[in-house]
Amino acid sequence: MDRYMLDTPFDFIRNPKEVFKALLESQEHGTAIGIKSGILGKGMFVTVVDEILIGDGRENTTIILRGYDFTGHVLATNSVPLTEIEGVCKFSSKFGNPFLKTLSKILKI
């Protein structure tokens, strides 16, 4: 198991069925989800699931994420095979657009 996964204060879900369920909830409800996958880079990226492309089972299922994380950082890719997701962390808050939040603060809307 990855040392990062042991040292984090977050409760990561690693069971494949539970990971899929959490990703589906993020898509259905627009809630933020933390994703740990080497394809995205090192660490956890908090974003939202835009779409789930079901293949012929777990092996060919692809998760389409929003193209940026909650800080506005553009992700290296927004397409992640389900088999490449090491763990997820569910959040109950809605995922908002960080660009609009910043713009609203600047314009004082």
% residues pLDDT > 70 (the chain): 75
pTM score: 0.78
Other CB atoms within a 10 A radius of the CB of residue 7 amount to: 7
How far is 107 from 109, CA to CA, in rounded Å? 5
In which band, very low, low, confident or very high, does the pLDDT at 37 lie, cut at 50, 70 and 90? Answer: very high
How far is 95 from 48, CA to CA, in rounded Å? 6
Q: Pull the structure tokens for residue 11.
A: 């409760």
Residue 95 is which amino acid? F
Other CB atoms within a 10 A radius of the CB of residue 103 amount to: 11
In which band, very low, low, confident or very high, does the pLDDT at 73 lie, cut at 50, 70 and 90? Answer: confident
